[in-house]
Amino acid sequence: MTHRPRQKVTRLTGILLGLGLAATPATAFARPLQPDAATPGAAQYAQVATVTPYQDKLAATGLDDPAKKDIAMQIVSSAENSSLDWKAQYKYIEDIDDGRGYTAGIIGFCSGTGDMLDLVQLYANRKPGNVLAKYLPALRDVDGSDSHAGLDPNYTRDWRTAANDTAFKTAQNDERDRVYFNPAVAQGKADGIGTLGQFMYYDAIVMHGPGTDSVSFGGIRKRALQKAKPPSQGGNETTYLNAFLDARVWAMKQEEAHSDTSRVDTAQRVFLRNGNLNLNTPLDWKVYGDPFHIS
């Protein structure tokens, strides 16, 4: 299985990317993104009030619809794991030599960026004494680095053992939703964008992390807002999403490991050019030259 590197910067962005951001508090990247309160409609959406037509449309459907969420997971897995079978990735773990230590699980939790530590802590809270709990001190020590100290030689074996436990799978699902999926959908709805746009947000947070610097999701969105207005501000949805993808491509090219932008160019832009703002099936796309199809 070919696993594609991501640029997830939930903690210690300056250390991991060498972009001179070490002065940014590490904990800033560990918190899930909250919908931008300055976005018109954010407060109204949180209360599910009867408001503008675009919000009424989004209340009825979105990426949080179970069928759409499964599609989102398949598309992300096509880029992250070269497979549509995202449920086979609970047990996945390897060091992909991107400076973030071990990468593992359904969303690429990393030992060097804090989200793996948070996941294993949640699993330990729910099931004390589990096979991964003994690695918590080591995960705290290696956070912010690519070190395996205290994890080798048995951590990968024990991770795969844990992946057979329903409680660990549930913990992975819950952390994915808390840190990445739910914040992406909430911000997308606050911005008035539909299912495809919410997916674009989600894929960006998965790769870049929910931070606020220029190469994290918050910075990407800020760059897009400088070029176009989202529907919540009276802008055209397609125009805004193109601006967001332009900003995303810029961020990807800041790191050599992500200079291949096909997950945008031959996937998300294809859906957008086809006017498929609701991410309806059938879907056909390519990532890194590999074709994929969802009926």
Neighbours of 133 (CB within 10 A): 16
Only one residue has tokens 């840190």, namely 179
Looking at residue 267, what DSSP letter applies?
A: I
Q: Which of 274, 268, 258 lies closest to 203, judged by CA?
A: 268
Candidates 64, 95, 98, 118; catalytic one: 98
By the 10 Å C-beta count (0-12 exposed, 13-18 middle, 19+ buried), 273 is classed as: exposed
Angle between helices 115-126 and 166-176 (to 10 degrees): 130
200 contact partners, CB below 8 Å, separation of at least 6: 193, 241, 244, 245, 248, 268
Nearest to 65 by CA among 167, 164, 196: 196
State the catalytic residue, choosing from 80, 143, 237, 255: 80
Does 98 participate in catalysis according to the annotation?
yes
- Would strands 93-95 and 102-104 be described as parallel, antiparallel, or unpaired? antiparallel
Both tokens of 116, joined, read 């793996």
Q: Pairing between strand 109-110 and 102-104? A: antiparallel
In DSSP notation, 239-265 reads: HHHHHHHHHHHHHHTTSGGG---HHII
Strands, DSSP E only, in the chain?
Answer: 93-95, 102-104, 109-110, 283-287, 290-294
Please list the active-site residues.
Answer: 80, 98
